[in-house]
Amino acid sequence: MANLDEPILAYALKLYPRIPELSSKLDTYTGSAKPADFWYTISSMLFIDAFVNLSAVCKGAGVAK
């Protein structure tokens, strides 16, 4: 899997601390070389945020429960 572009990575890195258990695991990789599972995890977090955004959009539209 290709590494994420720098701006996307910077954004993604802001997301995972929302899950403390995950954060404590990923923070163990402090060097610049990261294993593939790090990138898969970060990239997955990036897209989970889309679900949260959708929920906000639906609430804004008055349809979310």
Please identify which residue in 1, 6, 7, 31 interacts with another protein, judged by CB under 8 A: 1
5 in contact with another protein (CB under 8 A): no
Note whether 48 binds another protein by CB under 8 A.
Answer: yes
Cβ within 8 Å of residue 31, ≥6 positions away: none
Q: Which amino acid is at 59?
A: K
Instruction: Check residue 61 and report its DSSP letter.
Output: T
| Identified binder of another protein from the candidate list 28, 30, 31, 32, rule CB under 8 A | 28
CA distance linking residue 30 with residue 61, whole number of Å: 41
Q: Which residues bind another protein (CB under 8 A)?
A: 1, 19, 21-22, 25-26, 28-29, 35-41, 43-55, 57-58, 60-65
